[in-house]
Structures are given as C-alpha cells and as structure tokens.
Amino acid sequence: MKNACPTSGFTLVELLVVIAIIGVLVGLLLPAVQAAREAARRAQCQNNLKQLSLACVTFENAHRALPPGGWGWHWMGDPDQGYDKNQPGGWVYSVLPYLEGANVRSIAAGLTAAQKKSALTLLAETAIPTMNCPTRRPSMLYPYYYNDKYRNMNLPKVAVRGDYGACMTGKVLPQDGLPEPNTIAQGMSNFAAWKQWDNYFDGVVHYHSQVELRQITDGLSKTYLLGEKFLESDHYEDGIPSNDDQSYYIGFDRDTIISSYDPPLRDAPLGDIPFRFGSAHPVVFHVAYCDGSVHPMSFQIDRDVHRSLGSRSGADVTSEAGL
C-alpha cells in the first residue's frame, strides 16, 4: 500500500494575498513609470525649443535681426518676399531654412499670385515635428474649420498646429483686429498701421517686426524669445480655440505669438484664453531666451518678473524666476 501524499497548491487565501501584493506593487510602480515618461517628454519639449531658438539665433546671425513677426493671420509666408519686414509670414516660416526646412520654405517660389494660392495651401499641410510638445499632441494634420478668406492662399481642409509662440510684449495685451494690408504692394508701402503700432510692442517678435539685438537692452539671457503657449486641454485636436485655429506658417497672430503680461497657465478646460504662456506639463512651462538657452519656469513665477522678462527693455529682475 502506497503512502498518502498531501496535494500541493495554493489555498484561496494565499492566492488573494499574492494578487493583493501584485496590485500594491503595480500601484507603486505606475506613478514612477508615468513620471519617467513625462520626464522624457519634457526633455523632448526642451529640445524642440532649443532647436527653434538656435534657428532664430542663426537667422539673426545671417540677417542681422531676429525673425520678422509678419503681417497678420490672413497672410501665409511667401518665398519671394525675403526675410525682413516685407515678409508677410511669421517667425516659424522665416526660420525654416535653419530647421532643415529650406525645401518647405521654397514651396510656391516663383509662381504667379494665382498659382501661389494653391501651392501655399500645401504649405499649411506640411508638418515639422519640432513645433509640437509630445506631452500635448503629436505632429500631424488636424481638421481645419475656419472659413475666412486669406490674401495669398486657398482654404485648406487640414492644417498643422503648433505648441510654441514668440514673445511679443510684457505690456498689457494689444487690441484684437490689427489692420492688415490687402495686397503685397500695400504691405511693402508705407502702410499706415505699421507706424501706428511700431512702438507699441516691447518684445522681440511682433506685428511687422524686425528687432535687432542692439534693441534688447535687458540682455539676451534676460529676455524671452520663445515659449510654450497655453491651450484648452479639451480642444487639442479640433481647432476651435482662437489661438489654435491656424497653421504655424501664417503672419502675426495668436496662434504663434504670446505675451508675458498675464500669468502663465497649465493646460485646462478654462475657455478661450489667447496670448498666454503655458503648457501641458505639471508644475512648469519651458521658455527659450534670446541667447538660445532653454529653461523650465514655474507656473508660480512672480507676475512682475514674468512681465519684465517678456520685455526687451524692462530692467529685468530674474531671481527665483525659474526652477
């Protein structure tokens, strides 16, 4: 007769204990994994701003002024209009050759005005990955819903959208609806609005701007050049907010221009709030200075410090500004 052998295995209590331990371990590890992923995304976002700021600095070395601000959102960049105030497109369009995008900037070169309207529509649909923060959204084409007419482009059905803006001022926000020239010839002439608004902005990229380094009297390391912009967190992809309804190749507009007058905000469903610095990151947003350096900045930055950093001549005090 064989000896009886006890049956091996887990009891129900032991199994439940193991499952509970696994659940606790997953609960402990998941935040660490998420934090590591966000750290990687933040590093990529900082690198994006670094590449953009270096492109602006290289542009200045070549053209003796920072990229122009453009003529307004009814205008797309024009490859035949040069790199100064006669360029209707904004700063992103102007620095394309310094982001390995010379072929993108040459879209529509040498064409007639009528031909350009079709060709520049393709430009609005051409993405450069550097313009998007990975914490917020991928670099891709998004639906285009706006139906107003452009001066030099046909309406696209889809368009690229960007997450970074150039700083126009540290002063109170400008009025909406800045006048725009109706034709290239008018924009190249003594358009009355140019002079009227020329001294209003004290940032480095703004309406019809061409700021030289000698005008940045605060110092390059104490003046905002570019930064992340605030977006409504529930409208990343639909193009409804007024600061996210255009491609990033247009002229002066809230899609690519920001201000340091109002406090920065972390992305949230707060409504349509244009011209703000902000980000999808917890705690910080990233800023590039005019010397090409990039720094994380606290959402709790002092209001007056934030305003003065957005001015090229604001006698800046930078203590406790960043992290």
**pLDDT at residue 320 greater than cutoff 50:** no
- Give residue 322's pLDDT: 52
Residue 168 per-residue DSSP state: E
- Give residue 195's pLDDT: 79
**pLDDT at residue 229 greater than cutoff 50:** yes
Taking the chain, what is the end-to-end CA distance rounded to the nearest angstrom?
A: 78
Domain boundaries in the chain? 15-309
- Give residue 10's pLDDT: 65
**pLDDT at residue 323 greater than cutoff 80:** no
Q: Which of 72, 18, 55 is nearest to 288 (CA)?
A: 55
Residue type, 320: E
**pLDDT at residue 208 greater than cutoff 50:** yes
- Give residue 163's pLDDT: 98
10-14, 78-82, 99-103, 105-109: least confident range: 10-14
- Give residue 154's pLDDT: 94
- Rounded mean pLDDT, 313-323: 58
- Give residue 149's pLDDT: 86
Q: Is the separation of the CB atoms in 305 and 320 below 8 Å? A: yes
Q: Which of 182, 313, 156 is nearest to 245 (CA)?
A: 156
Q: Is the separation of the CB atoms in 310 and 222 below 8 Å? A: no
Distance CA 191, CA 196 (A): 9
Q: From the CA atom positions of the chain, what is the Rg in Å? A: 24
Q: Which of 116, 129, 92, 49 is nearest to 250 (CA)?
A: 92
Q: Which residue has the higher pLDDT, 173 or 120?
A: 120
**pLDDT at residue 31 greater than cutoff 90:** no
Q: Is the separation of the CB atoms in 124 and 156 below 8 Å? A: yes
**pLDDT at residue 214 greater than cutoff 50:** yes
SS3 content of the chain, % helix, strand, coil (to 5): 30, 10, 55
**Per-residue pLDDT tens for 96-127?**
999 999 999 999 999 999 999 999 999 999 99
**Per-residue pLDDT tens for 298-313?**
999 999 999 999 999 8
Which residue's entry shows tokens 């001015």? 311
Question: Could you tell me how many residues make up the chain?
Answer: 323
Phi, psi dihedrals of residue 44, rounded to the nearest 5°: -65, -40
- Give residue 308's pLDDT: 95
112-126, 190-204, 263-277: least confident range: 190-204
**Per-residue pLDDT tens for 131-145?**
999 999 999 999 998
Distance CA 32, CA 30 (A): 5
- Give residue 21's pLDDT: 77
SS3 71: coil
pTM score: 0.88
